[in-house]
């Protein structure tokens, strides 16, 4: 899969999630990990502004790279 993929990880997520994200990142040739400080697995609920900002940044960068 060559689709650009954003992998979001909470900075306070358990080691299980960190290991899982690293494995996914290693398996996908065009992925990137963004760590959201102070968050756990549900940042979309606990820090929606941060979550949306990271997703928007990724989408904007993808749009710019495609031009």
pLDDT tens across 8-39, in order?
999 999 999 999 999 999 999 999 999 999 99
The predicted structure's pLDDT at residue 25 = 97
CB 9 within 8 A of CB 44: no
67 or 44, which is more confident?
44
**CA distance linking residue 55 with residue 48, whole number of Å:** 10
What is the pTM (predicted TM-score) of this model?
0.87
List of residues 6+ apart from 4 with CB closer than 8 A: 30, 31, 32, 58, 62
Per-residue pLDDT, 47:
96
Q: What is the DSSP letter of 58?
A: H
Q: Is the pLDDT of residue 64 over 90?
A: no
- Do residues 40 and 46 lie in contact, with contact meaning Cβ atoms separated by under 8 Å? yes
């Amino acid at each position: 899969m060559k689709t650009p993929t954003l992998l979001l990880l909470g900075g306070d997520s358990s080691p299980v999630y960190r290991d899982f994200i690293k494995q996914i990142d290693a398996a996908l040739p065009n992925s990137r990990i963004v760590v959201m400080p102070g968050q756990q697995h549900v940042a979309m609920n606990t820090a929606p502004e941060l979550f949306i900002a990271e997703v928007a940044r990724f989408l904007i960068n993808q749009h710019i790279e495609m031009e």
